[in-house]
Structure formats: C-alpha cells, structure tokens
C-alpha cells in the first residue's frame, strides 16, 4: 500500500472493511477526519474483530453517539487561548499549535472537533508573529510545546523557521514536540527534518504517542533511532483505551517496546471526554488497577505517570494508585502490607 487511506471507500478497496459497510461509515467520515497511513494499514488484521490497530484509526458508527458528559473542548483549550495558536494553562509552559493536520486521525482524539485536512494551513506567518510576540513578552515561559495536529507533518523548512523563532527568545530553554509521525509515517522523519529540530541553546524533546506494542514495526523503530541518534531525547505518551491496551499484558508489551526503542514512557492519559468516544473510556479505578499490576512486573523505566486532564481546563493531575495506607503501613508490589516507622 502506497497512499494514505482517507475515505470509507478507500478502506473497502484496501480490503480493510466489507463493501457493505461503506455507506454507514460515510456519515462518520463526514464529521471526523479519516487518515490511515500505509505503515498503520499494513499492521491491521481485517479478520480480527477487535484488532487494536484498527480500533484506533478505523471509523466507527459509535462515534456519532454523544454522551451527556462529553465536551467539544474536553480539556478547556479555548479557555486558556489568549491569541490564536497559543494555549497557556501553566505559568512556565505553553502550547504552540502550528497545524491542525495529522498523518493519522485517532478515533479518540480530544481535539477531534478541530483537527483535520481543513486545518492543514495552521498559523499564517502573521499569526505566528503574534504568537511568538506573546511568548517573547512573557519571561516566565521556560518551555514551549509544539502540538496540533502533529508538528512533524510540517516541512523541514517550516519546522526550522519555528525553531529559529523560539531559539531567538532568550527565556525559552526547552521545546517539546508531540507527534505520532515517527511510528505512523516513518519515512517523514528524514535527516533534513531531524536537523530542523536541533538548535544551539535549546533542549529539544520529542514525545511520541503510541498505544499498542504492535505499532513498533521495524521502520518506525528506525525513525525513532534517527531522532535518538541525533541527540533528541524521546518520551512516550499513551492513552488508556478500552479494547486496545486496557490489560496489563498489553501495557507491559507497549512500555517494553518503548524502552527498547529508547523512549521513556512519560504519561498514561485517562481518556478524555471527547464527543463520541465513550466506547474507548475505562473507569479511573480500572486504570489504577492496571498501574498497580505493572508495579514490580516491569522496570521503573517502563512506568509512566497515570494522569487525568480535569475536564474544563483545570489542569492535569496524577491519579495513580496510592501505596501508603491510612494506618501508616505500605503496600508492596506483591500486595503485602509492611509497617513503616513514623519519623521521630
């Protein structure tokens, strides 16, 4: 397969769905963008009724079923957007959105109401000037997070321009890019793109989004290596998804694959209240039980922080299990409780 699949008809022609499903999925695709790259399409098993790769990217009629608690802007980006392209929720860091386009469109995306081909233009040069002026005028901003959309879908020229602008702001010391591209479109991670990211005086990190161990095919691992070999530290971002990774073996396989690829698992996100995504959400208690099961089963290198973005834009908080009991005893990885002496 050589082209990204963008319509239900293309999915049927590729043998990923039956032809008689095209009509029911066209209404889903009309509301929420569809894109499945060749790298991901090659991993889908169309005969598997609950294939974890298909579940992440294939449109599903349940996406049009809206639950009352769901929100068009589930983590309150708009509330904290002083100028176009900027989300400034915490004093020392902010988001800079350069594009609303992605290489693939996740069916659980918390920005699914704004991402898609229609947003591919992103910020105009004038709008980027205004966004950078906002950052320049706030010396408390230490870290800028390039997000979207996916910043690594941009050309090396546009990425280099953004990095040059940020490197020219003295108080910006860290730039973090959030992307699925290294795994879902590994050919896009060219030496030219890698060079575009590196700047003297900036610590540059790439946070790679992956939800299942099978996403780590050879080409994707090689793309990650191109970044790591260039001195770019890699972090891992995962969303806890029912039917994809909501069992301890799937999470173990995923986090081991990350660490083997020189990616440090960073966050395991509880799924947000995005429209039409109820079929992906677990309970917080289920997520805590999974994190508890991982403790002692895999190295600390494989342990992300389980976090919840409080709906409405109130910030991200850790919601992992607590091992300190009310009576002062501590629960070990094997589930046994142990006394710990109080401070004198």
Query: Rounded CA gap, 66 and 32, in Å?
Result: 13
Do the Cβ atoms of 262 and 224 come closer than 8 Å?
A: yes
| Active-site annotation holds for 292 | no
Q: What CA–CA distances, in Å, run from 22 to 25, 29, 105?
A: 5, 10, 18
Q: Which of 107, 272, 281, 302 is catalytic?
A: 272
Of the listed 9, 84, 90, 297, which one is catalytic?
A: 90
> Which residues, 6 or more positions from 135, have their beta carbon under 8 angstroms from its beta carbon?
86, 94, 96, 141, 144, 166, 169, 172
CA–CA separation, 107 vs 52, rounded Å?
Answer: 12
263-270 and 316-318 beta bridge pairing: unpaired
CA 52 – CA 45 distance, rounded (Å) = 9
Torsion from C-alpha of 127, 132, 133, 135, nearest 10 degrees: 130
Among the listed residues 32, 55, 60, 89, the single catalytic one is: 89
Active-site residue 109, yes or no? yes
To the query of whether residue 264 is one of the catalytic residues in this protein, the response is no
- Choose the catalytic residue: 60, 105, 107, 111: 111
Residue 31 a catalytic site member: no
**Active site annotation includes 60:** no
Q: Please indicate whether residue 90 is annotated as part of the active site.
A: yes
> What is the distance between the alpha carbons of residues 177 and 143, in angstroms, rounded to a whole number?
11
Q: Tokens 């895999």 — which residue?
A: 298
Single out the catalytic residue among 106, 132, 224, 302: 106
- Residue 316 known to be catalytic: yes
DSSP E strands in the chain: the ranges are: 86-90, 93-97, 143-147, 174-179, 203-209, 234-240, 263-270, 305-309, 316-318, 330-331, 337-338
134 catalytically annotated:
no
Residue for token pair 């850790």: 318
Measure the CA–CA gap between 120 and 155, rounded to whole angstroms: 12
Q: Which is the catalytic residue, given 21, 295, 297, 316?
A: 316
Beta bridge partners of 245: none
Asked whether the beta carbons of 152 and 193 are under 8 A apart, the reply is yes
Is 158 marked active-site? no
Q: Is 4 left (phi over 0), alpha (psi -120 to 50) or beta?
A: beta
User: In the numeric block, which tokens belong to residue 92?
Assistant: 């020392």
Told to judge if 93 belongs to the known catalytic residues of this protein, a careful annotator would answer yes
- What residues are annotated to the active site? 89-90, 93, 102, 106, 109, 111, 272, 309, 316
């Amino acid at each position: 397969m050589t082209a990204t699949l963008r319509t239900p008809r293309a999915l049927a022609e590729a043998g990923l769905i039956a032809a008689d499903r095209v009509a029911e999925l066209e209404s889903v695709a009309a509301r929420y963008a569809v894109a499945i790259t060749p790298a991901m399409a090659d991993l889908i098993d169309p005969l598997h009724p609950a294939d974890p790769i298909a579940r992440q990217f294939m449109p599903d009629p349940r996406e049009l079923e809206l639950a009352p608690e769901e929100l068009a802007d589930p983590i309150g980006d708009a509330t904290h957007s002083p100028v176009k392209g900027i989300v400034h929720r915490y004093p020392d860091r902010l988001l800079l959105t350069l594009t609303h386009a992605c290489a693939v469109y996740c069916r659980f995306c918390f920005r699914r109401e704004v991402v898609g081909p229609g947003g591919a233009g992103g910020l105009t040069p004038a709008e980027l000037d205004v966004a950078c002026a906002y950052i320049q005028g706030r010396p408390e901003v230490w870290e800028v997070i390039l997000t979207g959309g996916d910043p690594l879908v941009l050309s090396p020229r546009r990425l280099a321009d953004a990095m040059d602008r940020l490197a020219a702001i003295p108080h910006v010391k860290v730039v973090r890019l959030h992307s699925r591209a290294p795994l879902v479109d590994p050919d896009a991670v060219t030496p030219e793109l890698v060079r575009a990211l590196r700047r003297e005086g900036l610590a540059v990190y790439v946070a790679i989004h992956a939800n299942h161990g099978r996403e780590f095919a050879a080409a994707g691992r090689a793309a990650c290596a191109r970044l790591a070999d260039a001195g770019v530290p890699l972090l891992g971002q995962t969303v806890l998804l029912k039917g994809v990774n909501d069992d301890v073996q799937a999470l173990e396989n995923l986090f081991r694959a990350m660490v083997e690829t020189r990616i440090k698992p960073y966050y395991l996100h509880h799924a947000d209240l995005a429209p039409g995504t109820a079929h992906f959400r677990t309970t917080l208690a289920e997520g805590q039980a999974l994190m508890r099961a991982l403790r002692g089963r895999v190295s600390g290198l494989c342990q992300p922080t389980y976090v919840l973005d409080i709906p409405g834009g109130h910030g991200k908080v850790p919601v992992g299990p607590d091992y300190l009991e009310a009576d002062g005893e501590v629960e070990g990885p094997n589930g046994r409780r142990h006394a710990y002496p109080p401070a004198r």
